[in-house]
Amino acid sequence: MATRAATGARAGRGSSRPAREEAGPGSTLTREQKLELYYYMRLTRSLEERLVNLYRQTKVVGGLFRSLGQEADAVGSAYALDRARGDVLSPLIRNLGSMLVQGATPLEILRQYMAKGDSPTRGRELNIHFGSPDRGFIGQISHLGDMVPVMAGVTLSFRIRQQDRVGLVYVGDGATSTGAFHEGINFAAVQRCPLVVIVENNGYAYSTPVHRQTAAAELKDKAAGYGIPGERADGNDVLAVYDVTRRAVDRARRGEGASLIELVTYRRKGHAEHDNQSYVPEGEIERWARENDPLTRYVERLTGAERVPAAELKEIDARVLREIDLATDEAERSPVPQSEDALVGIYADPATIEPLWFREGIRSAVEGHERPASWGTHDPDTAAATEDA
């Protein structure tokens, strides 16, 4: 099973020198850290490939959202945070890589997608909508843009408590057109919250291309409207992503407030596994795959300028597969959820209703609740009267 200290270099990363690029991208990272970035990118891709296999075997029971071609943006940006200091991020469906960097394990991801009883949400949510604040990632909600005001609040609390912590929130290009995004980022800007807003410009929001939902030439330009710095970077270059995010994290930690970063990347799969991408111009996906794959580019960088022997990367690939194989076997052995689980870990915990109430007949459930008649739910008295008549 994967551990977040997979190459032993994770703790305290991002806490040393500020990011500078005079000596080329990623110049503040050690060789070990650069290999760890590779490990997380490979883990993200291979784990998602395993999930696709399980999906086709109908063992993944919900939707499957891929980040194929976007692994560098999630991994490189999350890596710029410092979990040892209590930094937190809130991921979206295409940020599995950021959760792995923060310490989510392949086993819990597999159990989650397979809706197992021992998954983080006990089978009540079917992909990566779960949080682990202790490990620095907050559970996402699906509503586009809404995690921006949530993270503005989280990071405002850091500032008020005078904590040395930074937050990072991911949004897609589509999410930047929502009211929640606007309100959240404006609030974070004016309150000088230590927040980094990562806009993943992957070309599409479901089937809508970027130019059909915003008139802004570049999404980073939106930052000017909020009076905060905005930077644009190549989202498929993991070292460039790390550097640009690290600069924003450093600014936030120095008390200089929020920043917006646009990472330019490309969504090579459909919105989810069921989407056939018929709306994508012919040849576009193949071109990005051929010319701008973040893993291929990083392998070239590592084996070229960084002089890492190809065999060393192959060893990491093999270790990733071993970890995923072990985790898959374990997840397959996991039990399905028990019906009582539906009543645990909810707002009233323990539940105010006795477990298994639904097996005692509908009367006990209805009588146990006060509710206005206007709710239109089943009323046994009226039902009985109707049946008698």
Ligand X SMILES: Cc1ncc(C[n+]2csc(CCOP(=O)(O)OP(=O)(O)O)c2C)c(N)n1
Minimum distance of ligand X from residue 141's CB (angstroms): 9
- 3-class state of residue 98 by DSSP: helix
Return the one option of ligand X, Mg ion, none that residue 144 interacts with (CB less than 5 to 8 A, by type).
ligand X
| Subset of 85-114 contacting ligand X (CB under 6 A) | 94
* Comparison of 193 and 219: residue with beta carbon closer to Mg ion: 219
The size of the interface with ligand X (CB under 6 A), counted in residues, is 16
Give the residue among 205, 126, 214, 134 at the shortest CA–CA distance from 171: 205
CB 140 within 8 A of CB 74: no
- 3-class state of residue 323 by DSSP: helix
- For residue 276, what is the DSSP state? -
- 3-class state of residue 200 by DSSP: strand
Burial class (CB in 10 A: 0-12, 13-18, 19+), 256: middle
The reply on whether position 235 binds Mg ion by CB under 5 A is no
Give the residue among 355, 377, 359, 346 at the shortest CA–CA distance from 369: 377
Q: Which of 26, 123, 172, 194 binds ligand X (CB under 6 A)?
A: 172
The reply on whether position 205 binds Mg ion by CB under 5 A is yes
| Amino acid letter, residue 108 | E
Q: Which of 24, 160, 206, 284 binds ligand X (CB under 6 A)?
A: 206
Count Cβ neighbours within 10 Å for each residue of 266-303 and write b for 16 or more, e otherwise.
Answer: bbbbbbebebeeeebeeeebeebeeebbbbebbbebbe
Q: Could you tell me which residues are beta bridge partners of residue 168? A: 89, 196
The reply on whether position 127 binds Mg ion by CB under 5 A is no
The reply on whether position 68 binds ligand X by CB under 6 A is no
What distance in Å separates the CA atoms of residue 368 and residue 293, rounded to the nearest whole number? 57
* Comparison of 93 and 138: residue with beta carbon closer to ligand X: 93
Contact window for ligand X (CB under 6 A) among 114-122, 200-208, 329-337, 353-361: 200-208
Contact window for ligand X (CB under 6 A) among 37-45, 173-181, 309-317, 347-355: 173-181
The reply on whether position 204 binds ligand X by CB under 6 A is yes
The reply on whether position 207 binds ligand X by CB under 6 A is no
* Comparison of 127 and 202: residue with beta carbon closer to ligand X: 202
Contact window for ligand X (CB under 6 A) among 2-10, 105-113, 170-178, 374-382: 170-178
The reply on whether position 173 binds Mg ion by CB under 5 A is yes
What is the per-residue binding string for Mg ion in 246-275, x denoting contact by CB under 5 A? ------------------------------
* Comparison of 60 and 205: residue with beta carbon closer to Mg ion: 205
Contact window for ligand X (CB under 6 A) among 48-56, 117-125, 202-210, 333-341: 202-210
Minimum distance of ligand X from residue 139's CB (angstroms): 15
* Comparison of 39 and 204: residue with beta carbon closer to ligand X: 204
Q: Which of 176, 202, 214, 292 binds Mg ion (CB under 5 A)?
A: 202
Query: Nearest 5°: phi and psi at 135?
Result: -100, 10
Q: Which helix (H) or strand (E) covers residue 208, if one does?
A: strand 208-209
The reply on whether position 198 binds Mg ion by CB under 5 A is no
Minimum distance of ligand X from residue 202's CB (angstroms): 5
Query: Nearest 5°: phi and psi at 341?
Result: -60, -25
DSSP 69-88: T-HHHHHHHHHTS-GGGT-E
Q: How many helices (H) and strands (E) does the chain have?
A: 13, 7
The reply on whether position 202 binds ligand X by CB under 6 A is yes
* Comparison of 199 and 331: residue with beta carbon closer to ligand X: 199
The reply on whether position 142 binds ligand X by CB under 6 A is yes
What distance in Å separates the CA atoms of residue 120 and residue 115, rounded to the nearest whole number? 9
**Site residues, ligand X (CB under 6 A):** 94, 142-144, 172-175, 178, 200, 202, 204-206, 267, 271
